[in-house]
């Protein structure tokens, strides 16, 4: 039987469907007329009615719900078995996941076992004749590569916020099928012993509409208090360059870039950051980049919509004061 349709592997965090899953469902809807079949979602773990409803209202016409002991938290070796078994049942042509911590880990494992082709971190997907065409940034975001796959099964992870979710349609109908799977425990080599929630203050970096990142030019950890102050006024979150995280001035969770987080806010303010390609790989998708740097030749200015040449010690307090006044904060 020819593979048809699209399966979105849902991500559920804190009992809620992650935004990237809704974005994947919207993309699936766009591609479905050319790929045939339907748009289904696979939800693993504690699949509540609210989770199923959220998936259906955002475009899934079928939800495969898999609940079994040991699946409440992400377990690489168990989840890969679930994905394999549900794909064997659903027979999709395309499987979509988010380019998240889980997606990055699960997609290559599943693709290997299923002998599927895989493109990671896609910012565009289309169908050209018999092939699925995937676009992804390469060389630290300086170029885009386009891959085509005519394989029976293609898998892709999508970059968060690269696609827009559809508004929820509460009148949408869908079927929820409880699927029982067999987990071979002898293959479950990695076990989660404990989950520690990161003490995140304020907005998550990935979800923030405004991100203010600091670089090595700040000179130490103390100035980050000033960045936090501005973030609070603008309703944003604070990020950092790798140089800053390597120096221990900020936790690694705040790192933006190739080996850090990818952010796509409406506004990205880079304070005392040089704009190395590896940093820009994590923020070039921002709608507007504003740079504050004392070196007029710094490459960050080539990437920015607006820039101020000056020492952050002078520019930042004045800018923060102006924002406070304008926002009435």
Q: Could you say which residues in the range 128-187 bind ligand FAD, by CB under 6 A?
A: none
Cα separation of 306 and 293, whole Å? 11
Q: Is 104 in the site for ligand FAD (CB under 6 A)?
A: no
Run of H or E including 250 = none
Closer to ligand FAD by CB, 136 or 279: give it: 279
Q: What is the DSSP string of 123-175?
A: SEEEEETTEEEEEEEEGGGTEEEEEEE-SS-EEEEE-TTSSPPPPP-TT---E
In the complex, what is the shortest distance from the CB of residue 103 to ligand FAD, in angstroms, rounded to a whole number? 18
Question: Least CB distance from residue 289 to ligand FAD, whole Å?
Answer: 13
Question: Does 110 contact ligand FAD by CB under 6 A?
Answer: no
Is 242 one of the binding residues for ligand FAD (CB under 6 A)?
yes
Nearest one of 239, 176, 155, 170 to 204, comparing CA atoms: 239
- Binding piece for ligand FAD, criterion CB under 6 A, among 90-98, 126-134, 146-154, 288-296: 288-296
Q: Which stretch binds ligand FAD (CB under 6 A): 8-16, 57-65, 174-182, 293-301?
A: 293-301
Nearer to ligand FAD, 165 or 315 (CB): 315
Any contact of residue 260 with ligand FAD (CB under 6 A)? yes
CA 12, CA 44: separation in Å to the nearest integer?
8
The Cα angle at residue 67 between residues 11 and 77, in degrees rounded to 5: 70
Cβ distance to ligand FAD smaller for residue 116 or 243 = 243
Identify the residue among 3, 241, 250, 320 touching ligand FAD (CB under 6 A): 241
Is residue 43 within 8 A of residue 55, CB to CB? The reply is yes
Q: Which of 67, 294, 319, 324 binds ligand FAD (CB under 6 A)?
A: 294
Kindly state the tokens that stand for 312: 């952050």
CA distance linking residue 154 with residue 101, whole number of Å: 20
Taking residues 193 to 232 in sequence order and writing x for each that binds ligand FAD by CB under 6 A, - otherwise, the string is: ----------------------xxx---------------
280 binds ligand FAD (CB under 6 A): no
Which residue lies nearer to ligand FAD by CB, 137 or 257?
257
Pick one of 72, 151, 276, 323: the residue that binds ligand FAD (CB under 6 A): 276
Q: Which of 111, 243, 269, 286 binds ligand FAD (CB under 6 A)?
A: 243
> Do the Cβ atoms of 289 and 312 come closer than 8 Å?
no
Query: Exposed, middle or buried, 167 (CB in 10 Å: 0-12/13-18/19+)?
Result: exposed
Closest among 182, 183, 179 to 40, alpha carbons compared: 179
Q: Which two tokens mark 2?
A: 């020819």
Comparison of 58 and 279: residue with beta carbon closer to ligand FAD: 279
Residue 148: other Cβ atoms inside 10 A: 17
Task: Give the phi and the psi of residue 229 in degrees, each rounded to 5.
Answer: -60, -45
298 belongs to the binding site for ligand FAD (CB under 6 A): yes
Which member of 5, 257, 285, 307 binds ligand FAD (CB under 6 A)?
A: 257
CB of 244 to ligand FAD, least distance (A): 6
For ligand FAD, the binding residues (CB under 6 A) are 215-217, 241-244, 255-260, 272-274, 276, 278-279, 282, 292-295, 298, 311-313
């Amino acid at each position: 039987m020819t593979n048809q349709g699209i399966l979105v592997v849902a991500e559920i965090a804190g009992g809620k469907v992650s935004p990237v899953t809704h974005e994947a469902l919207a993309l699936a809807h766009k591609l479905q007329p050319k790929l045939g079949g339907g748009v289904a979602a696979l939800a693993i773990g504690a699949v509540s009615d609210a989770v199923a409803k959220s998936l259906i209202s955002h475009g899934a016409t079928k939800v495969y719900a898999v609940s079994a002991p040991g699946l409440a938290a992400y377990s690489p070796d168990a989840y890969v078995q679930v994905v394999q078994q549900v794909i064997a049942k659903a027979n999709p042509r395309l499987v979509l996941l988010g380019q998240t911590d889980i997606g990055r880990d699960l997609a290559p494992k599943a693709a290997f076992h299923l002998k599927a082709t895989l493109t990671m971190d896609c910012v565009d997907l289309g169908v050209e004749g018999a092939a699925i065409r995937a676009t992804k940034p390469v060389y630290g975001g300086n170029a885009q590569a386009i891959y085509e796959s005519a394989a029976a099964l293609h898998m892709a992870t999508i970059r968060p916020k690269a696609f827009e979710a559809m508004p929820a349609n509460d009148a949408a109908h869908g079927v929820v099928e409880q699927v029982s799977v067999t987990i071979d425990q002898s293959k479950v080599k990695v076990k989660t012993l404990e989950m520690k929630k990161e003490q995140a203050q304020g907005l998550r970096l990935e979800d923030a509409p405004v991100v203010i990142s600091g670089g090595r030019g700040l000179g130490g950890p103390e100035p980050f208090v000033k960045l936090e102050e501005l973030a609070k006024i603008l309703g944003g979150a604070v990020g950092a360059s790798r140089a800053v995280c390597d120096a221990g001035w900020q936790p690694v969770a705040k790192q933006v870039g190739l080996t850090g987080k990818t952010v796509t806010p409406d506004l990205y303010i880079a304070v005392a950051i040089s704009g190395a390609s590896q940093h820009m790989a994590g923020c070039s998708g921002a709608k507007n980049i504003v740079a504050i740097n004392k070196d007029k030749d710094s490459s960050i200015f080539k990437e920015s919509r607006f820039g101020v040449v000056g020492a952050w010690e002078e520019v930042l307090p004045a800018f923060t004061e102006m924002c406070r006044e304008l926002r009435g904060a």
